[in-house]
Structure 1
Amino acid sequence: MLAFAFPAYAQNFGDRLRRTVERAAESEVQRRADQETRRVTRCALGDQRCIDQARRDGNEVEIVDSRGSPVQGNGDTERDHPLITPYAGSVLRQRQAEAFNEYARIIGHDVPGRSVVTERLEGRLTRLRYDNPEGRSTLEISRNYRGALEAQGFRVDYECSGRDECGSIRNPGFNRINGMNLGVARDVRYFTGKLRWNDVDAYVSIAINPDVTFVHVLEATPMETGMVGVDAAAMAAGLERDGRIELQGIYFDTGRATLTAESTPALEQVAALLRNQPGLQLRVVGHTDSQGDFQDNVKLSQDRAEAVRLALMGRYGIDAERLTAQGVGPSVPVASNDTEEGRARNRRVELVKP
């Protein structure tokens, strides 16, 4: 009986194999047809603007090196930063790249081992975390990175080594401020500085413990504007519904209360809102994140709210009695201050109906 069943089984298997081959051939033909019809934009490695624009246009992105040869990987989530080659033998474990964000660069301590001093920067931000190769000291790794950067014109403006200089993990330090989690190791090193690269100022901060190296690069590039519209009618609806709105599109110089030119469209719409509703009165409320001194943050938020109020009065002729300014600092967060994303959401200006 088995002798008669075997040929039928073999025939069925042959039929299934033939259909599988036919389907694979059809898929390959379709894949090649898709390749012929798709739109591909070739972007140089590290050219994030090109990558972002291609994706907005609905194109596929092909990353190429300086010779025009394709680069393996997608070029913006699994690659080193083109500014600096990692220490030999390092393994890239994490990469976070943002086209525009704020970054708190650690530039010192008010007292060694105590509260850190930071400089707030804005621009294209790349955060990299590497596993260190075995048998290499933090000193050797640090000096190699520093030497490679200094060869390109880099200048160090702050450095520290060891917990006594760099600070205790119990104080608001590296991990809470900028995500450089150096753990409990006492053998830690950190340096930061600046160089001119690709026609912008690039700030590089590197922190090292025996196991891990963090490389953060902030390129002081301007933010793309015009991505979000501000509409007086939408403001009016939000105020009617909730009694308050977050004022989108308001920008200040880093750490200051000076409105930038990019704030003009939003201010114009607030002025239009007030002209459309002659009886409307508003309180302009400034908010900050929790980084830094509480009283300093309250003053900064008050100054920023007042800057918006004065701009509406001076540029657009809004009656002073219709506007008040209030700064509450970090007292009313809308997100966690433990992450950079949360802190960015907490830095805001609101319009509130009294």
Structure 2
Amino acid sequence: MPRRTAIALAVTLALSAAAAAQDAPGAADHPLVTRYPGTELAWQAVENFMPFRIPVGPVTGYRQIDDWIDAEGRVTRSFYSYRGTDRSFDEVYRNYLDAFTAEGFDIRAQGISDTRAGAEVGGRQWLDVYLRESPLPKAGPVGAIAAGTSSQGGQGGFVASKDRAAGMVHVAVVVEQHAEDQVAALIDIVEAKPAEMGLVAVDAEAIGRDLAEKGRVVLDGLYFAFDSAELEARSAPALEAVAAYLGAHPDRRFYVVGHTDAVGNFDYNRDLSAARAAAVVAALANDHGIAHERLQAHGVGPLVPVFTNADDAGRDRNRRVELVEWPG
């Protein structure tokens, strides 16, 4: 029988089993993969956009894995449960692995462990470190796998990626023999995509409010070309808002301070942050008639982070330009 036909039959079985399963309210199979026949979708969580980490290496120390995929995008986490003694975790695991391999996914890491202390990919220690980075609820149907209370031993896991026309997708699958009559499967799917930008920009009222409360304001809505101090055209609304505030307060002076993330050379980042601050000052002076002597550009590079530099989301927030009160 051709392989594609076999997969189609599995899909039909899965859909018929789904009708009888006691799925969690509102939960649904992800379009990327059907469930194993006879399983119920006991828990699911979906986030439209969030950072997410998936390990692709073994445990190398206490709660430590060295190799990770750091992605961000739409995250779907699904927990399936199979009740019965006629299927083993190994059979369910190999069905998922075979299906993703057949669909052209790159298997980034895989492993099976017969003990509860396995540090290899797919082992219990590996899963514990994974779930510390990407936690699951401790209560409810998924709580047992999250807490590591499986009493039967034996589990497997793999991580797979595929670059599709719609963007990169990463999948982590963990299957365990949770009890003599229960096989549990956790399937995490990350559809990588950039955050939808341009939804937040400063306005004159917000600038005044933040300056009154904090003495500084982050100038959201400023965009620079990659690794450059060149302001992009879509920065115009934010620059107009800043100019409106400055025009309404002609006696006040401000520092314009650039910030970067911590990636790369310190001196380079400091210079880049200063150049971006100077570009904002130049745009306000040349295009909006703000007196140049009222603004002083500075760059501090990565010295004043507001979020962690350990992930993409934090680094993105640390790359910013602020307007800071200039006393006197």
TM-score, normalising length: structure 1: 0.57
Q: CA deviation at 1:121?
A: 1.3
Asked if the contact 1:153–1:196 (Cα under 8 Å) also holds between the matched residues in 2, the reply is no
Q: For residue 175 of structure 1, give the secondary structure of its aligned residue in structure 2.
A: helix
What CA distance in whole angstroms lies between the structure 2 residues aligned with 1:213 and 1:176?
A: 18
- From the superposition, tell whether residues 238 and 264 of structure 1 become closer, same or farther in structure 2 (CA, over 3 Å): farther
The equivalent residue for 1:179 is 135
Q: For residue 273 of structure 1, give the secondary structure of its aligned residue in structure 2.
A: helix
Q: Deviations over 1:44-76 (max 9, x none)?
A: xxxxxxxxxxxxxxxxxxxxxxxxxxxxxxxx9
Q: 2:45 aligns with which of 96, 100, 103?
A: 96
Q: CA deviation at 1:175?
A: 1.1
Q: CA deviation at 1:281?
A: 0.9
What CA distance in whole angstroms lies between the structure 1 residues aligned with 2:46 and 2:169?
A: 14
Asked if the contact 1:258–1:304 (Cα under 8 Å) also holds between the matched residues in 2, the reply is no
Counterparts of 1:185-204 in structure 2, within 5 Å, are 185=150, 187-197=154-164, 199-204=166-171
Asked if the contact 2:55–2:68 (Cα under 8 Å) also holds between the matched residues in 1, the reply is yes
- From the superposition, tell whether residues 92 and 171 of structure 1 become closer, same or farther in structure 2 (CA, over 3 Å): closer
Counterparts of 1:128-207 in structure 2, within 5 Å, are 128-135=78-85, 136-162=87-113, 163-166=118-121, 169=125, 173-179=129-135, 182-184=146-148, 185=150, 187-197=154-164, 199-207=166-174
- The percent identity for this pair of structures is 21
Q: 2:54 aligns with which of 86, 105, 115?
A: 105
The equivalent residue for 1:322 is 297
The equivalent residue for 1:229 is 201
Q: Deviations over 1:101-127 (max 9, x none)?
A: 222122224737762222221222211
Asked if the contact 2:222–2:238 (Cα under 8 Å) also holds between the matched residues in 1, the reply is no
Letter in 2 for 1:205: A
- From the superposition, tell whether residues 171 and 201 of structure 1 become closer, same or farther in structure 2 (CA, over 3 Å): closer
The equivalent residue for 2:276 is 311
Q: CA deviation at 1:96?
A: 1.9
Q: CA deviation at 1:232?
A: 4.9
Asked if the contact 2:119–2:126 (Cα under 8 Å) also holds between the matched residues in 1, the reply is no
The equivalent residue for 1:279 is 253
Q: For residue 269 of structure 1, give the secondary structure of its aligned residue in structure 2.
A: helix
- From the superposition, tell whether residues 281 and 100 of structure 1 become closer, same or farther in structure 2 (CA, over 3 Å): same
Q: CA deviation at 1:213?
A: 1.5
The equivalent residue for 2:76 is 126
Letter in 2 for 1:93: A
Asked if the contact 1:284–1:352 (Cα under 8 Å) also holds between the matched residues in 2, the reply is no
Asked if the contact 1:124–1:221 (Cα under 8 Å) also holds between the matched residues in 2, the reply is yes
Q: For residue 86 of structure 1, give the secondary structure of its aligned residue in structure 2.
A: coil
Q: Which runs of 5+ in 2 are unaligned?
A: 1-24, 137-144, 179-183, 284-291
Q: Deviations over 1:31-51 (max 9, x none)?
A: xxxxxxxxxxxxxxxxxxxxx
Counterparts of 1:211-226 in structure 2, within 5 Å, are 211=178, 212-226=184-198
What CA distance in whole angstroms lies between the structure 2 residues aligned with 1:172 and 1:286?
A: 33
The equivalent residue for 1:7 is none
Higher relative contact order (CA 8 A, sep 6+): 2
Q: Which runs of 5+ in 1 are unaligned?
A: 1-75, 288-297
Asked if the contact 1:95–1:129 (Cα under 8 Å) also holds between the matched residues in 2, the reply is yes
Counterparts of 1:57-72 in structure 2, within 5 Å, are none
Letter in 1 for 2:238: Q
TM-score, normalising length: structure 2: 0.60
Q: Deviations over 1:278-299 (max 9, x none)?
A: 7211444567xxxxxxxxxx55
- From the superposition, tell whether residues 81 and 286 of structure 1 become closer, same or farther in structure 2 (CA, over 3 Å): same
Residue 348 (structure 1) aligned with residue 317 (structure 2): yes
Q: For residue 206 of structure 2, give the secondary structure of its aligned residue in structure 1.
A: helix
Letter in 1 for 2:147: G
Q: CA deviation at 1:223?
A: 3.5
Asked if the contact 2:171–2:187 (Cα under 8 Å) also holds between the matched residues in 1, the reply is yes
Q: Deviations over 1:147-206 (max 9, x none)?
A: 112221112011233322147659971112123654335533221111244633221111
Asked if the contact 2:48–2:74 (Cα under 8 Å) also holds between the matched residues in 1, the reply is yes
